[in-house]
Amino acid sequence: MHEMALARDVLRKIEEEWSRVAGRGSRVKYVKVQLGESRFTHMEELKELLADISKGTIAEGAKVEFEISKVRSACADCGTEFKPGEKMNLNCEKCGSGNIQLTGGNELIIKAVK
């Protein structure tokens, strides 16, 4: 299940970040996660799963806030940035090139842990 794998990734990142800033022994109270919108489909489900798998870890009971970053694309040929439509493999709006790179929407970054 997609959301479950993502929840595990988020938790692992929280634990990594927490051991870096606070070491062992204390618990996370608050987390802010920057998450690309292409990574998930059901935010509520993700939150529930994350709360569930956090039980017994340093992140148990932590308030988790998500900052969602939008999907963006850029043309590798002319550099034009645009928001892709429904289809991810559309051509450049400006020069028509099919050489498109995803430049946003795939983030998974722990922005803050307290």
Smaller CB distance to Zn ion: residue 15 or 77? Answer: 77
Q: Does residue number 21 form part of the binding site for Zn ion (CB under 5 A)?
A: no
Q: What is the DSSP string of 57-97?
A: STTTT-EEEEEEEPPEEEETTT--EE---SSTTPPPTTT--
Could you tell me which stretch among 2-10, 47-55, 62-70, 79-87 binds Zn ion (CB under 5 A)?
79-87
How far from 102 is each of 42, 50, 84, CA to CA, in Å? Answer: 21, 27, 9
63 or 94, CB closer to Zn ion? 94
What number of chain residues touch Zn ion (CB under 5 A)?
A: 8
Q: Classify 39 as helix, strand or coil.
A: coil
Q: Which of 15, 97, 106, 108 binds Zn ion (CB under 5 A)?
A: 97
**92 contributes a contact to Zn ion by CB under 5 A:** yes
Is 78 a residue that touches Zn ion (CB under 5 A)?
Answer: yes
Pairwise CA distance, residues 2 & 80, whole Å: 31
